[in-house]
Amino acid sequence: MKVKSDKSEIKSSLHEMPDAALAAACCRGESEAEHRLWAMHKNRMYGVCLRFAASKQEAQDILQEGFLRVFGSVCKFRGEGSLEGWVRKIMVRTALEHLQKRQAMPHLLDLDALENLLPDPQNLDDLDDPISAGKLVELLQKLPPGFRAVLNLYILEEQSHEQIARELGISIGTSKSQLHRAKIFFKKLLDKTLLLVF
């Protein structure tokens, strides 16, 4: 009984653990703390990965690789910011590296070819909310990797063009033009999707 109560105490203490303490416990190699960190951040990070990836499978790969990096460098976390922000940063960087590995970032796209990208209306089961988060992510995944990266970094990660240029190794001008084109592309994709639904 005492052992059980001890375990529950440890678990409850893990729940209440501040970021730095949780990171320190992970650094010491405590399995409970590692699982706790995973459980705390897995869903949000999976959302981030889905936005950057081209498919669920790829998102899961990025999530796995990203968390391995997190646990590999958790000892470096000094508690200066939030743990979530730190984990998110690693996850975004992992996702970008994954995108860059694919080396498939077409800059010039024929927007008429968008027909191929439109989702099947039969798959849009959530007709009450055709532009739900899930559907938006699906549309984002249809974007070419370069557009997807810039759109995600600028709008959702709230990075400046300077930061984006540094992250992706492009010029600030390219970042701006990519964002502009990505927005148009995405809007058109969105409009066509909505037209199909209604």
Q: Which stretch binds other proteins (CB under 8 A): 4-12, 75-83, 120-128, 183-191?
A: 183-191
By beta-carbon proximity to other proteins, the closer residue of 1 and 108 is 108
Q: Is 133 in the site for other proteins (CB under 8 A)?
A: yes
Interacting residues with other proteins between 47 and 76 (CB under 8 A): 47, 50-51, 54-55, 58, 60, 63-64, 67-68, 71-72
Separation CA 164–CA 173 (nearest Å):
11
Separation CA 24–CA 31 (nearest Å):
12
| Both tokens assigned to 126 | 């959530």
Separation CA 161–CA 88 (nearest Å):
19
State the burial class of residue 70 (Cβ atoms within 10 Å of its Cβ: 0-12, 13-18, 19+).
Answer: buried
Q: What is the nearest approach in angstroms of other proteins to the Cβ of residue 168?
A: 19
Q: What is the nearest approach in angstroms of other proteins to the Cβ of residue 1?
A: 29
Residue from 10, 24, 27, 38 touching other proteins (CB under 8 A): that is 38
Of 58, 59, 34, 61, the residue nearest 47 (C-alpha): 59
Q: Which stretch binds other proteins (CB under 8 A): 13-21, 46-54, 160-168, 170-178?
A: 46-54
Total residue count of the chain as it appears in this document: 198
Q: Is 88 in the site for other proteins (CB under 8 A)?
A: no
Separation CA 38–CA 16 (nearest Å):
15
Separation CA 173–CA 156 (nearest Å):
20
Separation CA 77–CA 23 (nearest Å):
7
Interacting residues with other proteins between 139 and 178 (CB under 8 A): 144, 151, 155-156
Where does this chain bind other proteins (CB under 8 A)?
Answer: 29, 31, 34-35, 38, 42-47, 50-51, 54-55, 58, 60, 63-64, 67-68, 71-72, 104, 106, 109-111, 113, 116-117, 131-134, 136-137, 144, 151, 155-156, 183-184, 186-188, 190
